[in-house]
Chain A
């Protein structure tokens, strides 16, 4: 089980994430939601060891990971929101780099890479440089690299970004299948329809604080909303979009 306890990250004493706690059990997909600047990416960066938390604990299978991030990250596959890649590498070279850094021997790595390229539809472009990949292709390369090490935990930050409809349907099915195999999945996204379809429970952030954390059906019942979107809007106190629309229309004509 992956457990985050009272996680706080402050910049110049201003908390970006403030006392957030959640747990993901094997087979569970946890949706991690919030408007822009709510602290989703900061939480993910802390989980990936990119930034140090100010306070709080991250436990994996009962052990605090902060003493040994590499051991924890061996069990993690990560798809970042922005496709940060080395543009000079080809798709194959990138996967080879990730596989080697994960210590996967050549005999296992080569066929696994080939399968990933075929299944994600990148076979023809595997020797092209990543700089020439479209956004969807980069996303597929990132997904392949995240799955390459057969991780126990998947941290997916907007994984559907740039994917076409067929690839999105395939990924949605894949995420469910991975959960059925006992993987723990943290799914951070703005696309509430997808979250509603695939996540078992959600954490909703607002200004760095978790304002709700429960199963989706229960939240809908508690807040008397028919959809997750209604729950989200109510909890994050979003402005009335009609006011903004009126402002934009006025600006266009000025």
Chain B
């Protein structure tokens, strides 16, 4: 209640101060605005330009819709933050009531470690999302061509804008939780006000990962041939994104490490978050030798990563511009992969019009950086769900072994194809809505009359070939290895039927050729989207994998589940085909009306 009271008091104070000093604040705001609207030096203008570009997204064509999405996400974060603040408040209230301060102090350390790690992971994620914009690119050079700018100005402005963006992100991620911690970690066992230590630790951790990632890209940029760089860079970005998305939910378990926080194993010096925890502890007057050592490593690592990031920028200066502008275009696909893809299309899609769409989807997806990255993110979320489920089951059952006799391991293996197919199919369906060179869709518009169903079949075949079947084929060896040949095959068959039924549901009333229709984000509020994925994940992955595990040893149960899943698939398919009465394919998505009508009409 006290935490809630504090937040309410803060809101009242802010509203009150605005009303009381409205004129003064307004005049300051007006002066800042006027100053910003004026033209300043070209260096300042470049920095301003580059900083703004970090907040742009080519995915969103309608700024108003983007605001709706951003507002929804902010609302979710704020709601979770208020609940978390309440939970922390009650936790520390309880710990403060204990007769021994040890629990309180260990909990403070584990929560600090969580915040530092969380800040590092989130800052790394943001940096990875901005990966193509970390250095000046071809578009910058060409769009700014002919303007009276020095190349040095462009590089310096880009670096300053990048640093400003990173600072804003780091402060935004670490400062509010630090404030909350300083408020809730009070009482008789709290010997120091923790905010400076925790804030410094988290901020340094954030800068360390940021500078390290900039350095990595700087090195790749300079050592790889320009034509190879794009491919390697995208693969690296995808790998980092997958790792970080998997790591994000795991950071939530760090607070559970409380009982081990006073242990000082030798490997601590190899765990970067511990370095920055050392800084926080040092600032709270803990002068143990190991804490001093960790702090020293932390300061050294930040200084080194910053220095190497600056050096990589200097290394790229001029050389990078010359390489980017003077090198020929992108890589051609190899003859082998071209032939292989074309043969696959010929075999699985006999209709020429469907095959045209099939090939178009495959090529667009393979060559669109944005689409590949989003698909990687969906795959990473699937892996995160599998890992999180697995570790939760291990922790709950306290069975710390990885053999096939471990029920947690068996359930995780059964859940893997379900989680992968859910996120892969949902990811592909989402990606199909995002346009690629929208204006080129005239070619499909021109050939649409009378061919609607054949064109849509191409998308269906693609989902089957690249969404459903690869998951079944790739997970089959693991199923057989862990569950045995018979059970493994049966389990895989049930998962396959479930993913086929899911595919039918996802394709329901989809009347567009992938990548050819305009896109409005935020048609569903983020809360609804989050809820949909949570429910789908719980039912489709959680409950279905438990059902499969339970039914496998029982022949009657296995047959019943197999029949049910097959019926669900065939029923969903029949319903979808019945509902498909194509008049016109959709090429323009309409935004939801600002005011929804209730459609209540009088007879």
Contact = CB atoms under 8 A, between A and B. Distances in A.
Interface of A: 11, 45, 48-52, 69-74, 76-78, 80, 82, 84-88, 97-106, 109, 129, 131-132, 146, 155
Contacts of A69: 148, 150
B149 A70 contact: yes
Contacts of A85: 143
Contacts of A70: 148-150
A84 B141 CA distance: 9
A97 B51 CA distance: 13
B148 to A, nearest CB: 4
Contacts of B45: 97, 100-101
Contacts of A131: 58, 61
Q: Is the interface of A mostly helix, strand, loop or mixed?
A: mixed
Contact of A78 (B42, B46, B141, B146): B146
A101 B139 contact: no
A52 B142 contact: no
Contact of A51 (B42, B61, B326): B326
B368 to A, nearest CB: 15
Contacts, number: 84
Interface of B: 37-42, 45-46, 49, 53, 56-58, 61, 139, 141-150, 322, 325-326
Contact of B58 (A50, A52, A88, A103): A88
27 contacts: A45-B145, A49-B145, A50-B142, A73-B147, A78-B146, A80-B142, A80-B145, A84-B139, A84-B142, A86-B139, A86-B143, A87-B58, A88-B57, A99-B39, A100-B42, A101-B42, A102-B42, A103-B39, A103-B41, A103-B42, A105-B39, A106-B38, A106-B39, A109-B39, A129-B61, A131-B58, A132-B61
Contacts of B149: 70, 73, 101
Given A49-B145, A50-B325, 15 more contacts: A11-B326, A48-B146, A51-B325, A72-B148, A73-B146, A76-B146, A78-B145, A78-B146, A80-B142, A82-B142, A84-B142, A84-B145, A88-B53, A100-B40, A109-B39
Contacts of A84: 139, 142-143, 145
A237 B315 CA distance: 45
A97 B49 contact: yes
3 closest A-B pairs (Cβ-Cβ)?
A78-B146, A84-B142, A88-B56
A102 B142 CA distance: 16
A239 to B, nearest CB: 25
Contacts of A97: 45, 49
B244 to A, nearest CB: 25
A84 B325 CA distance: 13
Nearest to A94: B143
A155 B146 CA distance: 9
A106 B37 CA distance: 7
Contacts of B53: 86, 88
A45 B45 CA distance: 24
A88 B143 CA distance: 13
